[in-house]
Amino acid sequence: MAKQWRGVLREYADRLDVTEATPVITLGEGGTPLLPAPALSARTGANVWVKFEGMNPTGSFKDRGMTMAVSKAVEHGAKAIICASTGNTSASAAAYAAHAGITAAVLVPEGKIAMGKLSQAVAHNGQLIQVQGNFDDCLEIARELAEHYPVHLVNSVNNDRIEGQKTAAFEIVEVLEDAPDFHFIPIGNAGNYTAYTRGFTEELERGITTKLPRMFGFQAAGSAPIVHGEVVKNPDTIASAIRIGNPASWELALEARTRTNGYFGAIEDTKILEAQRILSSEVGIFVEPASAISVAGLLERSAAGEIPAGSTVTLTVTGHGLKDPQWGLRLEDGSQAQPTIVSAETSAVADVLGLKAQA
């Protein structure tokens, strides 16, 4: 039988807290492609690669952390997990809980999560609760529930999540055979920024790499507490996945930025959507808006002259475009794409395509 990727817990068992006693709850996450992006290299003069995390089983990077968090929860006897989410964590938690045969309760901000993610949480039989508040309210409630009731918290304040997510950095190093010069990544709670920094740090300490990448993290302009150094009470952005005003891993992210000589930036929604379109139309990778902020961040920093020509740059794009497909149908002028309708005749289609019959 051909070799099949076994999921991050088995592939990296020697680098994670996994023992004989750990039941491995996996859906085959990880092993995602690191794709060269010639169009972005041409635009920036750098050597640009995209880590396409939308290729995970539930369509986002959350699966790397969730396999770890749910496996450890089951190891410790948990029968129910809980999380607050802007959508992807809830989809992932519900899927892994279903696989493990336990219950997932998911708290999401009412009306503020993308349809694909809502659909996943319900399809995987999650106990979906829409809270009349924002993500930060949801997380506070989830933490309190986990403290006082028999439910196991699987947000990234749970270190098992960060541990699982650090494996993406290992995979990048395996492909490039060293760390990149720069790594670009979206920031919501800053859990993933923290996880990549940990993964790259461990590779350096093992002597596998020669450097730490400079970790460049981006928040949406209407939701940029870390960039501005203060909690945002009513965060607002079309990138609903990162609409977070009080990030859980704030302190860890500050420490990681200092250690990697990193950077935090804020990006306007219009630039996020522009970058999403560039990635889908020029590279062939469709991501949700929050993920496109990595691309927007690169274009912005490159235009600012901060990315030397020839640098090796990796971008994490965190979630699949199919999660929130409405943005793909939105044209650059803000209008909706209208399908061209023709009669069922070859010549009619050829006319629309501007094709002339060959002699």
10 Å CB burial of residue 118 (0-12, 13-18, 19+) is buried
Beta bridge partners of 36: 49
Task: Convert 248-297 into a string of H (helix), E (strand) and C (coil).
Answer: CCHHHHHHHHHHHCCEEEEECHHHHHHHHHHHHHHHCCCECHHHHHHHHH
Binders of ligand F0G among residues 96 to 135 (CB under 6 A) are none
Distance in Å, CB of 113 to ligand F0G, minimum = 8
- Which residues make Cβ contacts (< 8 Å) with residue 180, sequence separation at least 6? 49, 172, 213, 311, 312, 313, 314
Distance in Å, CB of 39 to ligand F0G, minimum = 22
Q: What is the Cα–Cα distance from 225 to 26, expressed in whole angstroms?
A: 34
Within 10 angstroms of residue 355's Cβ, the number of other Cβ atoms is: 11
> Which one, 71 or 85, has the nearer CB to ligand F0G?
85
The binder of ligand F0G chosen from 58, 189, 201, 209 (CB under 6 A): 189
> Which one, 60 or 302, has the nearer CB to ligand F0G?
60
- Under the criterion CB under 6 A, does residue 192 sit at the interface with ligand F0G? yes
* Cα 351 off chain centre by: 42
> Which one, 180 or 247, has the nearer CB to ligand F0G?
247
Q: What is the Cα–Cα distance from 310 to 34, expressed in whole angstroms?
A: 18
Interface segment toward ligand F0G; rule CB under 6 A; list 28-36, 67-75, 144-152, 188-196:
188-196
The binder of ligand F0G chosen from 114, 241, 292, 296 (CB under 6 A): 241
The binder of ligand F0G chosen from 291, 302, 311, 314 (CB under 6 A): 291
The binder of ligand F0G chosen from 156, 167, 237, 276 (CB under 6 A): 156
CB 235 within 8 A of CB 244: yes
- Under the criterion CB under 6 A, does residue 215 sit at the interface with ligand F0G? no
- Under the criterion CB under 6 A, does residue 238 sit at the interface with ligand F0G? no
The binder of ligand F0G chosen from 44, 56, 86, 237 (CB under 6 A): 86
**Number of residues near ligand F0G (by CB under 6 A):** 23
Interface segment toward ligand F0G; rule CB under 6 A; list 84-92, 125-133, 197-205, 335-343:
84-92
- Under the criterion CB under 6 A, does residue 57 sit at the interface with ligand F0G? no
The binder of ligand F0G chosen from 288, 298, 301, 313 (CB under 6 A): 288
- Under the criterion CB under 6 A, does residue 186 sit at the interface with ligand F0G? yes
Distance in Å, CB of 166 to ligand F0G, minimum = 12
- Under the criterion CB under 6 A, does residue 85 sit at the interface with ligand F0G? yes
* Cα 6 off chain centre by: 21
- Under the criterion CB under 6 A, does residue 290 sit at the interface with ligand F0G? yes
Q: What is the Cα–Cα distance from 323 to 321, expressed in whole angstroms?
A: 5
- Under the criterion CB under 6 A, does residue 93 sit at the interface with ligand F0G? no
Q: What is the Cα–Cα distance from 311 to 313, expressed in whole angstroms?
A: 6
The binder of ligand F0G chosen from 47, 89, 197, 314 (CB under 6 A): 89
Q: What is the Cα–Cα distance from 165 to 290, expressed in whole angstroms?
A: 17
Distance in Å, CB of 280 to ligand F0G, minimum = 15
Beta bridge partners of 219: 266
> How distant, in Å, are the alpha carbons of 87, 207, 322 from that of 241?
7, 35, 14
Contact pattern from residue 318 through residue 347 relative to ligand F0G, giving x for each residue in contact according to CB under 6 A and a dash for the rest:
xx----------------------------
- Under the criterion CB under 6 A, does residue 275 sit at the interface with ligand F0G? no
Task: Convert 160-220 into a string of H (helix), E (strand) and C (coil).
Answer: HHHHHHCHHHHHHHHHHCCCCCEEEEECCCCHHHHHHHHHHHHHHHCCCCCCCCEEEEEEE
Classify each residue of 330-354 as buried b or exposed e, where b means 16 or more C-beta atoms within 10 Å of its C-beta.
eeeeeeeeeeeeeeeeeeeeeeeee
Distance in Å, CB of 158 to ligand F0G, minimum = 12
* Cα 46 off chain centre by: 23
Provide the binding-site residues for ligand F0G, judged by CB under 6 A.
60, 62, 85-89, 156, 186-193, 241-242, 288, 290-291, 318-319
